[in-house]
Structure formats: C-alpha cells, structure tokens
C-alpha cells in the first residue's frame, strides 16, 4: 500500500527520468527550480500525461505501464489534485465546486452537497458556500481547492505549488493552515514546491529535482547537512533554526539566543544562509554584527571553489567560505572558531 | 476620442440608420394592419420563425461537436476541414442552393437514395428550407464556438478529470458552461443568418406559400406586385430581429450581473 513510480518521459526540451517511492501516510516534497520537471511528474501521477517508459503503481494497482499497455484514465485513479492556481470552476458556487467530484461519481445531489458542506465547515469556509470562487481570497481559494480534492477520499493527494500563488505576507499563516489540514489526511501526499520552507514545514522526505533527474533524496535534515552538489547546497543547504521570538530575539529549544530583525512574536523559523556567516579564530571586537557564537569545526566539505564548514556548538551551523579563506585561516576539524552573522542577514518566518 | 474618428463613427451609424428611416418614411401606416394580418404575411412569418429556429437547433447540435473537433483534435488536415465547413459563409447563397440541389435533390448524389430508401424528398419542401438555412447558418456558430474553445484553459477540464469526471461529464458540466457566452452569440448569429436566408432557399426549396415561402422571399416577390406590402413585411422582419437581439442582450447582461461576486 504505497506509491511506486518509475517515470521516463521526453516532452519538449525536458528529458525526465525519475524513480519515486512514498510510504503510506507520508509526504514527499519534490523540490527544484521551474522547468526541472516537478509538475510534469505530478501530471504523470495524475494520468494527465502518459509516460513513455516505466511504471506507476498506486496502492498495488498499476495505473500506467507502457510496456504492457496499461493506462488508467485520470478519473479512474484514486487521486486528488490541488493545482497551482487552484482551477476552481468559476460558473459554480463554492459548495458546487467541492461537491463536483462526488456528483461526477453519481452520488445523489443531496448527499454530495451535505458532504461538501461538512468539508467546507472543516476548512472554516461554511459561510462562503454560496459564493462564486472569484469572490474568495487566495488563501480561501486554496482551502476550497483542497476540500474539493479531498471530497472524493483519494489515496494519493498531489499538490502543485500550493502556496506559490499567495503573497509573501499571507504565506506563513497559510502554510501553517495547510499543514494542519493535511495532517487530517492519512493518505500519501506528493508536494511540488520550489521553496525549501514549504518542504520543511509540510514534508517528511524530499527529492531534489534538477533537469529531469533526482539529484538527491532523503530527509530535509540529511540533505541540508550534506548537500551532494553545489546546486543542492544553493537550493536547500541553509541553516534552519526553530525557536520562539520575543522582541528582537529568537530563543532556540536549547536556549541559544539569536538576534533577529523585523520578526513577529511567536513560534518561528529562522533561515541563516551559510554564505552570510563569517568565521574568525577569535571573537571579533567592535563589530556591528549582532550575533557571535563560539563552536568547534566538526567537518569540512569541499564543493567547487567553496568549503562548507560544519560547526558544533550551542547552535550547530554550516558556514560557507571560499577555499582561499579556508587556507588563509588554516582551519581544520577540531579547531575552535567563532561564527558571526548580522541580524539583518537572517530571514524569519512565523512557523 | 479624436474628432475625425467621431465623425466617421457618426457616418457609420447614419449608414445603418438611414435605410430603416427610408422604410419608415415610405411605410403605408394607414393600411399596415391589413397587410400585417394578411395570409401572406402571417404564413410567411410563421414559416420563417419555425424554419430558422430549427436551423439554429441543428447548427447547435452538429456545430458544437464540429467546433470541438476543429479546436481540440490533432486531426491532420484540420485547416482544410475548417475551410470546407465554412465555405458557405463566403459562397454566394445561390451557388450553395444549386450545390445542395445536385447533392440532395431527387436525382442528386445522395438525394436519389434518400428518395428510394426513405421516401424523403428535400427540394421544394419545408425540410428543404431548414436544410438550406442550416447550410448557410452553421458556420457562424462553428467559428464563434471554436474561437471560445481555443481560448478556454484546458486545465479546467483536466482538473475535472482528476476529480473523477468522465470526458462527457466534463464536457457538459465544465466546458459548455464556460463557453456559454460564445454559444449564445453563435446561436444568435446563426439564427439571424437563417432568418434572412434568401438565395439558397429559393434555389433549393423554391417559393411555395405556406411550404417554402419565408419572409425574405415574400418581401422580394411582393416588391414587384405590391411595394407597400413589401415595406410592411420588411419592417416586420426588422422588428422581430431587433427585438430578439435586444432581448437576448438584456437577458445576457442580467446574467452577467447575477454571476458577479456577492460583496460579503
């Protein structure tokens, strides 16, 4: 009872060749830049684009296998899709949108509407049932799209950039909402995103896609700690710190304080990019940087002309410096260093 | 707006309004009622409405699938099919009527078998009028609907499929409602074209009062016999067409207002 997919497909300039596995109840995030093939993978899983080679199995049922000529049409797959711009039907009310899948499956109108109303209640939109989709805000439309996809009780939920259409200000709150709603769904989920924060907040496993290939897969913690390529390092090789913001200070669960700028109080993620960390042998004096943490070098990875230095201490961090700087400071594992970061270089998002 | 454009636009409006005024000016108002209630007028008007509505219905029935085929399929030679199916828009209607005669006439390519096997004779019958009108009217619907289908984002249809809807259910519940404005516009255009049909009708179906003599035919024939009658009949055609255009427009506008977002 899981999703297994080997997908090989040539479409336009994209040459896609990936293998995915999602265990029951798990969330896999496909992370990568635009044009890498993430959305095409979702289309293949949904049956909107047939694959050239490979095989897709959902819950033990083969839904696409060109070698044996098996192809299950989208409407016969146990799936739900939340599209990037939601694609709500404008000529129907919100309630009719959510009831659509049930009506298409020939459920009597009354039952379909009752179930749709219950789902709208769950996502907090009972008051909007009679409205047209265009009267909704982006976040509300997203919840309607989610309710519509979940109405038919799919085994596999596919989410294509569910937060990309929203403005930055509302993203954090909606990401939290989405996680809450997704937690009530016990099927498998595949999420496409280009934002590591989405993957961090919503997924168990991450597959990094680059030009139609999975370049690295695993938990986000593993990948963040040891990106295997320059590309992956740039994409997800950031220091993600969780904690509580009070005033201008974020306190981690281990009690370390991080001075930040422009943060709203409460639970939050802080993102420290490795290249914004300065390493020094001794604690710097007279600096404008608000943060300076002592630590011990645990590990040094070389990626191209840069070095990623893993530091153990009260706040474990990965710093990225040039090879020239590494040589000049003559840094080796076991050395004591100080990591310095300006408060304004730290991005904070409410959790 | 620049003055020359305003002047040219005003001239254009006058160009369309003047012929109407011409008719109104010459209309025999005192005897209008007599002409209106005459057998010729009522019979022709009833026949015209009946045939043009049938032609519109047939255009919808066959034209929407045809538009779908042209807009969505990967069929080779689509351009050629489109040209073939819209040829009657640019063809002189008389030529269309002649062509129909040799195809569907009693000795026509297909017509002879229609007669032999089903006893169905199209020329000089009311059915023949409907066929001639459909022949010239359907392209207007096909082109309008095809354009709308091309503009429609196919991803809404894909979303419908992922929700468990079959292609047919998707077409009925998602595609058709989305192109409804084009359906209405295309149907009105076809209907107007069918109502005004003259050349193909008189060639293929002839001019028999009560069977094939529609309003345009009646107007043309009475112009020689009794110009006053022709003017009254012409005005009736204009009033009916105008009323339908305005009526549909109002209903359409009302619909648009209803579907506007409700301010919460």
Mutation pick from A81, A85, A87 vs chain B, by most beta carbons of B within 10 Å, is: A87
Instruction: Quote the pLDDT of residue A196.
Output: 81
Spell out which chain B residues touch chain A, with contact meaning CB-CB distance below 8 angstroms: 153, 155-156, 158-166, 169, 173-174, 177-178, 180, 259, 261-262, 264
User: The domain spanning residue A317 has which CATH number?
Assistant: 2.40.50.100
d(CA A262, CA B190): 63
Mutation pick from B155, B161, B163 vs chain A, by most beta carbons of A within 10 Å, is: B163
| Predicted confidence (pLDDT) per residue in B141-190, tens digit | 999 999 999 988 899 999 999 999 999 999 999 999 989 888 988 998 89
d(CA B240, CA B244): 6
Q: Which of A247-251, A257-261, B50-54, B72-76 has the highest mean pLDDT?
A: B50-54
CA-wise closest residue to A22 among A154, A155, A220: A155
ipTM of model: 0.79
Helices then strands (H, E): number in chain A?
9, 21
d(CA B90, CA B201): 16
Please identify which residue in the block is written with the tokens 């696409």.
Answer: A64
Q: Residue B55's beta-bridge partner residues? A: none
Average pLDDT over residues A295-302: 90
Instruction: Quote the pLDDT of residue B251.
Output: 59
Q: What is the CA radius of gyration of chain B?
A: 22
Both A163 and A90 in a single domain?
yes
Q: Which of residues 297-316 of A touch B (CB under 8 A)?
A: none
d(CA A314, CA B174): 57
Per the structure, how many domains does chain A have?
2
| Predicted confidence (pLDDT) per residue in B207-257, tens digit | 888 899 999 999 998 888 888 888 988 988 888 888 877 876 765 555 544
Q: Are A97 and A133 in contact (CB under 8 A)?
A: yes
A234 in a structural domain: no
The residues, ordered by sequence, that sit 6+ positions from B158 with a Cβ below 8 Å of its Cβ are A46, A48, A74, A87
Both A177 and A272 in a single domain?
no
Both A25 and A103 in a single domain?
yes
| Predicted confidence (pLDDT) per residue in A90-115, tens digit | 999 999 999 999 999 989 999 999 99
Is residue A133 within 8 angstroms of chain B, CB to CB? Answer: no
Q: Which of A228, A262, A292 is the last residue of a domain?
A: A228
Q: Which of A202, A228, A254 is the last residue of a domain?
A: A228
Both A172 and A243 in a single domain?
no
The residues, ordered by sequence, that sit 6+ positions from A176 with a Cβ below 8 Å of its Cβ are A201, A350, A351
Both A116 and A205 in a single domain?
yes
Distance separating the N- and C-terminal Cα atoms of chain A: 32
In this structure, of A182-186, A290-294, A296-300, B83-87, the range with the lowest mean pLDDT score is A182-186
Domains of chain B: 29-256 (1.10.3720.10)
Both A205 and A253 in a single domain?
no
Q: Give the domain extent around A284.
A: 239-350
Both A58 and A162 in a single domain?
yes
How far lies B208's CA from each of A339, B40, B43, B108, B111, in Å?
A: 100, 11, 11, 21, 20
The dihedrals phi and psi of B248, each to the nearest 5 degrees, come to -65, -40
């Amino acid at each position: 009872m899981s999703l297994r997919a080997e997908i090989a497909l040539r479409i336009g300039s994209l040459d896609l060749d990936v293998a995915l596995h999602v265990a029951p109840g798990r969330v896999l995030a496909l992370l990568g830049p635009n044009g890498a093939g993430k959305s095409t993978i979702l289309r293949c899983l949904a049956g909107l684009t047939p694959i050239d080679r490979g095989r897709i199995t959902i819950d033990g049922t083969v839904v696409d296998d060109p070698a044996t000529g098996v192809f299950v049409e989208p409407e016969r797959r146990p799936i739900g899709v939340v599209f990037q711009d939601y694609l709500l039907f404008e000529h129907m009310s919100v309630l009719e949108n959510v009831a659509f899948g049930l009506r298409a499956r020939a459920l009597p109108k009354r039952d379909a509407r009752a179930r749709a109303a219950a789902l709208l209640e769950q996502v907090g939109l009972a008051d909007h049932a009679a409205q047209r989709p265009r009267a909704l805000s982006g976040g509300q439309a997203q919840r309607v799209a989610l309710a519509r996809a979940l109405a038919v009780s799919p085994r596999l939920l596919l989410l294509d950039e569910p937060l990309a259409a929203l403005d930055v200000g509302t993203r954090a709150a909606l990401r939290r909402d989405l996680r809450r709603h997704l937690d009530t769904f016990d099927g498998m989920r595949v999420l496409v995103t280009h934002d590591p924060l989405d993957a961090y907040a919503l997924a168990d496993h991450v597959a990094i896609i680059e030009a139609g290939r999975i370049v690295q897969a695993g938990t986000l913690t593993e990948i963040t700690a040891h990106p295997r390529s320059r590309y992956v390092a740039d994409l997800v090789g950031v220091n993600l710190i969780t904690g509580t913001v009070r005033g201008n200070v974020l306190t981690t669960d281990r009690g370390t304080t991080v001075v930040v700028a422009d943060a709203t109080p409460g639970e939050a993620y802080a993102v420290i990019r490795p290249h914004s960390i300065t390493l020094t042998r001794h604690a710097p004096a007279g600096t404008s940087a608000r943060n300076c943490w002592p630590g011990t070098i645990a590990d040094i990875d070389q990626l191209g002309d840069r070095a990623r230095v893993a530091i153990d201490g009260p706040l474990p961090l990965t710093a990225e410096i040039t090879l020239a700087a590494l040589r000049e400071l003559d840094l080796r594992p076991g050395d004591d260093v100080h990591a310095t970061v300006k408060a304004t270089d730290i991005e904070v998002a409410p959790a | 707006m620049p003055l020359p454009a305003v002047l040219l636009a005003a001239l254009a409006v006058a160009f369309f309004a003047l012929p109407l005024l011409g008719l109104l000016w010459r209309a025999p108002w005192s005897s209008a009622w007599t002409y209106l209630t005459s057998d010729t007028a009522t019979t022709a008007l009833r026949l015209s409405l009946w045939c043009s509505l049938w032609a519109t219905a047939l255009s919808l029935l066959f034209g929407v699938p045809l538009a779908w085929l042209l807009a969505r399929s990967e069929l080779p030679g689509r351009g050629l099919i489109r040209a073939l199916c819209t040829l009657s828009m640019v063809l002189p209607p008389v030529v269309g009527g002649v062509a129909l005669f040799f195809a569907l006439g009693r000795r026509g390519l297909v017509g002879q078998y229609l007669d032999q096997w089903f006893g169905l004779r199209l020329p000089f019958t009311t059915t023949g009028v409907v066929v001639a009108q459909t022949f010239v009217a359907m392209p207007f619907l096909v082109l309008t609907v095809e354009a709308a289908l091309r503009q429609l984002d196919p991803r809404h249809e894909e979303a419908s499929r992922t929700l468990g809807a079959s292609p047919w259910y998707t077409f009925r519940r998602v595609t058709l409602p989305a192109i409804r404005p084009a359906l209405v516009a295309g149907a009105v255009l076809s209907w107007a074209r069918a109502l005004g049909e003259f050349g193909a009708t008189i060639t293929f179906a002839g001019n028999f009062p009560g069977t094939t003599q529609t309003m345009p035919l009646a107007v043309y024939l009475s112009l020689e016999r009794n110009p006053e009658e022709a003017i009254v009949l012409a005005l009736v055609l204009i009033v009916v067409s105008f009323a339908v255009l305005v009526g549909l427009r109002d209903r359409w506008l009302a619909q648009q207002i209803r579907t506007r977002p409700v301010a919460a």
